[in-house]
Amino acid sequence: MISYSEYLQVAESAARIAGQYQKSRFASTLNIEMKGDKNLVTEVDKESERLIVEHLLSHFPGHNIIAEEGQYLQSGSNCRWIIDPLDGTTNYAHGYPWFCVSIALERQGDLVAGVIYNPVYDELFTATKGGGAYLNGNSLSVSTQAPLKNSLLGTGFPYDCATDPANNFSSFIAFQKSARGIRRAGAAALDLAYVAAGRLDGFWELKLKAWDVAAGVLMVREAGGMLTTFDGSFYDIFNDKIVASNGLIHDEMINMLSSVDYVTLDP
């Protein structure tokens, strides 16, 4: 049986291929399409996905693929790659240098390998099940910052926040008043990688997709962090509400989310 590290090596090379392509096109003229009022997609997203999928399937031709931009036939394989070819597309399209490639492998329902690559800073975050989390080969662990009032958090807002009351505004205000600070950088995969690296102490968001979180979830777990849904129950990557933390502030985050509705009734 192929080891987790062998899967990881292939994912790393796929992420670097896509990341270097993204750097080569960054701040150039792009063809931008809309997937909604605010949700963008560019030809760089699509070409990055093609490069990643082509590379993965050249090594593992029988594996399944779930990715943000395309539909792929599903075989009977127990291995499934979960791909966000360019997380932070809005940033990328505006020339804002904060975006990444996110690739994870799920085997028999378990996340076993994950890569998040920030090509601007050449930071490669990696993790394997039971093997720890790393940044450019250096071991990662979550922060020891506590309580919540001394913590730096990350979050984001859904694309439909102007029209759907489930917009995270109330929760944001509550955390802004209670934490040391909040960052809203626009790439959830990097937010999760930063929790794993101890650069953020916690993160919460809603309406994310599996490809946004899969690699980051594995990294947080392997770095010693905690992940749940908003109510503190078990989190899986197809749940649309995520809380990730260093574990020390997790109860405070859950209590905050339970005391302040993330739905704004009068936006």
**Crossing angle, helix 43-59 and helix 4-25, to 10 degrees?**
150
pTM of the model: 0.93
Query: Where in the chain are all domains bearing CATH 3.40.190.80?
Result: 148-259
Six token digits for residue 107? 């085997």
Helix or strand holding residue 13 (H, E)? helix 4-25
What is the CATH code for 148-259?
Answer: 3.40.190.80
The reported pLDDT for the residue numbered 76 is 84
CB atoms inside a 10 Å sphere around CB 107 = 18
Greater confidence (262 vs 175) lies with 175
Cα 100 to its chain centre, rounded Å, is 9
Find tokens 């979960």 and name the residue.
82
Residue 203, CB-side half-sphere exposure with 13 Å CA sphere: 36
Q: What are φ and ψ of residue 100, in 5° steps?
A: -160, 170
The reported pLDDT for the residue numbered 96 is 95
159 has a pLDDT exceeding 90: no
Lowest-pLDDT range, 68-72, 209-213, 221-225?
A: 68-72
pLDDT tens digits, one per residue of 99-145: 999 999 999 999 999 999 999 999 999 999 999 999 999 999 999 99
- Chain mean pLDDT for the chain: 92
40 has a pLDDT exceeding 60: no
pLDDT band at 263 (very low <50, low <70, confident <90, very high): low
- Whole-angstrom Cα distance, residue 194 to residue 216? 9
CA distances from 96 to 69, 185, 259 (A): 21, 10, 35
pLDDT tens digits, one per residue of 9-26: 999 999 999 999 999 989
Greater confidence (2 vs 1) lies with 2
The reported pLDDT for the residue numbered 267 is 42
Residue 224 DSSP code: T
**What class has domain 4-139?**
alpha beta
167 has a pLDDT exceeding 90: no
pLDDT tens digits, one per residue of 238-255: 999 999 999 999 999 999
Query: Where in the chain are all domains bearing CATH 3.30.540.10?
Result: 4-139
pLDDT band at 39 (very low <50, low <70, confident <90, very high): low
